[in-house]
Amino acid sequence: MNAHSESLPVPRPSSELESAVFEAELVDDTPDVPKLTGWRRFMNWWLRSPHVPATLKSRQAAKHAAVDALAFVLRSPWRFVGAVARGTAAAIRCWRRWVRVHDYRDAAEQSEKLADKFSEIRALTLFRWKVTGAVALSAAAVLTVAYVVYGGRTLWIAAGLGSATLAVFGQRKDGAPGRKPVLAGPRTLTWTMDPQVLVDAFRDAKLIGKDESLRLVERAAHDGAGWAVTVDLPATRKAADVIKHREALASALAVDELQLIVERVRGRGGHAGRVFLWVADEDPYSGRPLRFPLVDVEFWDAWRPIPFGRDARNRRIDLPVVWTSLIVGAIPRQGKTCATRLPAAGLILDPYTQLYVFDGKGGKDWQAAETVAHRYVCGDEQEHTEAVRDYLVELVAEVQARFSRMSTLDDEICPESKITPDISRDRDLGMPITAVIIDEVQIYLENPTREEIEGKKTTLGTYIADLLTYLARKGPAVGIVVILATQRPDSNTIPSRLRAVLGSRFALRVMDWRDSNIVLGEQMNTRGFDASTLLPTHKGVGILRPDGDTDAGADMLAVTVRTFYMHNAEWRGICERGRMLREAAGTLTGHAAGDDSPRAIDQAAVVKALGTSTEDNAPCQLPEPLVSVVDYLGDGLDQREFVPTAELTEALDVEPTMFGRQMGNLGCQPRRGRTTNEDGTVRQVRGYYTADLRAAVGECRQQVVDAPEDVE
């Protein structure tokens, strides 16, 4: 219930209201409207008058105008000298073309009468040389006479007028036509001083046309450790395209793509063509590690988002854990375990939570959590995998029991058939927030041991995947949080049915875009988010796709985050503090309290709840390129009817002939189908029907199911 509900007035019954008699006195309580003074009337006119410059209507605008004026004054001498130099070069070129009769010569060449006009061209050339000499002698004579009469000031006045004329002449477009340098100097970020460079960068990145421009919404200003600007794109241009081609825009701006943040402005004041740009002054992900804020906190509420890291603009990014789940994927030694321990630390510091901690690595990274975990498994042996299975079965049965108990609660305690903070802390109800944390989850999901569950053949790894899928899909409503971490984010390790129900995604550096999409979601690389482009030196830096609001914005699709760092001593300290909190609250249970025995479970009820078909979910190592096609299509494998070959070869970056031969060997022959262009027209192309692709995948799975068991 709302914490402020106690202060609200409670309405009286209707019968009592009808019988009550109220005495009242009519009071004119209309507030006196203060009259506008002369100063207020003047300020009202000043702020609304179109005749007053916008730079004088606010302190911020005046500050920007003053900065611009100061920059103009400081740059003026250098710009004047450059303009004079360009004007001198342009004047010499113009005079040279005039004295050599280029205009007359070009006309004769176009009319193919150059030979006939040779004598006239020569005579005109000599005449123009004479005119040049006469003008030069006359100017020298005039300057000499003026110098004798008026002294040295004449030369200064003449030099000033001449340089001013040349400076104006040098301000012509492109600095006057002429020779251009073959090799220019290095490109640098200059758009913060000159908005025209930003427009040129958008044109160079092919985000706007040559005849199109940008409209400035908020001028460039220094924001934190970088520059920020908001612009409107031309009509029909979309901010999503700018985000998608962020790398091309970064190249045009001469900055690393990690320094450039491109966001679409949404909500009130935003639209599909409004873009916010922020460019860091230097690498925003370098420097000393960021200390985890919860290290100095005695207690934490699991219902509050947990501090996770900071983005490039140094905004703290908090990660909500209740109502959702999380997958962390990365190659080894990129900070995966440390990132996974951050949300676990927030849950540990809440004594009213339960933790199921399973470490497939078998090291000491999670050893400290053994003192607070309700269930704890550390190792990759067969017995460890079976223990994980048994504990997950226990938790699935607990989810069923929680739904059953929740259905008996009245609407005041449970108004929306979902867990609430009060329910999770009520010891009598027995429904605390329960987190399943599995590091190196691929160890358990890839276990090939055959077993029969209620008459159905499957493997141990497949059954664990089914249990986790059920917990991630139905568990959040009753307080179950699933947190998985893997160093092998591929389609064979994390089944699509499990990935589809994991709400929050965090991808540190991975090997290629396919692995990045498996963690973050299908086609995220085409939307500008690819974890394979992260630098190896950026430990703990990854792309977060949150399932909920963050400080970066509720409508943010994904954000690059540098996670907080917590070394082992601090991690052990948090676990010790969590145990003391549980001992004080009387919530220490399970493994931490010395009780490892699993509860008696109705296996048939669990299998019925899962509703799985082991024949459909049997794991198989799909051959290339079929596995890449399945990864690329994702849910589209079931939703689309036809996929053009050109789309697949471009997305997978493969040679078309070899791709077609390999797909043919797998039983997938290209056929003609219809596809719709962007303009709505329909054309016929060659490609693959998804029914054929599904049949090839099903045949591979059937081979695994029918394969004989290994004979020892």
Is 667 within the bounds of a domain? yes
User: What average pLDDT is seen over the chain?
Assistant: 79
Total number of residues shown for the chain = 712
pLDDT digits (tens, 9 = 90+) for 334-388: 889 999 999 999 999 999 999 999 999 888 889 999 999 999 999 989 999 999 9
Is 286 within the bounds of a domain? no
Nearest-10 crossing angle of helices 102-110, 59-99 = 70
- Count of beta carbons in the 10 Å neighbourhood of residue 184: 7
pLDDT digits (tens, 9 = 90+) for 65-97: 787 788 778 878 888 888 888 888 888 888 888
Residues 6+ apart with CB under 8 A from 296: none
Burial (0-12, 13-18, 19+ Cβ within 10 Å), 383: exposed
pLDDT digits (tens, 9 = 90+) for 573-626: 999 999 999 999 999 999 998 887 767 666 666 776 676 433 444 444 567 788
Angle at the Cα of 229 from the Cα atoms of 225 and 235, rounded to 5 degrees: 155
Q: Is pLDDT above 90 for 572?
A: yes
* Sheet containing 226-232: order of strands: 215-223, 226-232, 274-280, 260-264
Q: Give the Å distances, CA to CA, from 443 to 219, 358, 393, 440, 612.
A: 52, 11, 18, 6, 21
Is 560 within the bounds of a domain? yes
Q: Give the Å distances, CA to CA, from 173 to 72, 97, 163, 176, 177.
A: 20, 19, 18, 6, 8
Cα gap 671→690, rounded to integer Å: 11
pLDDT score of 548 = 63
Whether residue 301 sits in one domain with residue 275 = no
Q: Is pLDDT above 80 for 61?
A: no
Whether residue 579 sits in one domain with residue 454 = yes
Cα gap 347→441, rounded to integer Å: 20
Does pTM surpass 0.95? no
DSSP string, 52-85: S-GGGS-HHHHHHHHHHHHHHHHHHHHHHHHHHH
Domain extent for 163: 61-175
Average pLDDT of span 108-129: 70
- Count of beta carbons in the 10 Å neighbourhood of residue 213: 16
Choice between 659 and 61, residue whose per-residue pLDDT is larger: 659
Whether residue 314 sits in one domain with residue 393 = yes
Whether residue 652 sits in one domain with residue 541 = no
pLDDT score of 622 = 66
Lowest mean pLDDT among 36-45, 290-299, 534-543, 591-600: 36-45
pLDDT score of 629 = 83
DSSP assignment, residue 139? H
Cα gap 168→180, rounded to integer Å: 20
When pLDDT is cut at 50, 70 and 90, the band that residue 177 belongs to is very low
Q: Is pLDDT above 80 for 541?
A: yes
Cα gap 399→467, rounded to integer Å: 11
Is 420 within the bounds of a domain? yes
Whether residue 508 sits in one domain with residue 398 = yes
Whether residue 139 sits in one domain with residue 204 = no
Cα gap 712→702, rounded to integer Å: 23
Whether residue 343 sits in one domain with residue 262 = no
Burial (0-12, 13-18, 19+ Cβ within 10 Å), 573: middle
pLDDT score of 503 = 86
Whether residue 232 sits in one domain with residue 103 = no
Q: Is pLDDT above 50 for 212?
A: yes
Is 28 within the bounds of a domain? no
Whether residue 605 sits in one domain with residue 632 = no
Choice between 108 and 268, residue whose per-residue pLDDT is larger: 268
Amino acid at 612: T
> Percent of the chain, pLDDT > 70?
82
Cα gap 551→315, rounded to integer Å: 7
Is 582 within the bounds of a domain? yes
Choice between 448 and 186, residue whose per-residue pLDDT is larger: 448
The number of domains in the chain is 4
Whether residue 325 sits in one domain with residue 300 = yes
pLDDT digits (tens, 9 = 90+) for 243-267: 888 888 888 888 888 888 888 888 7
Is 212 within the bounds of a domain? yes
Residues 6+ apart with CB under 8 A from 562: 284, 285, 290, 309, 310, 311, 538, 540, 541
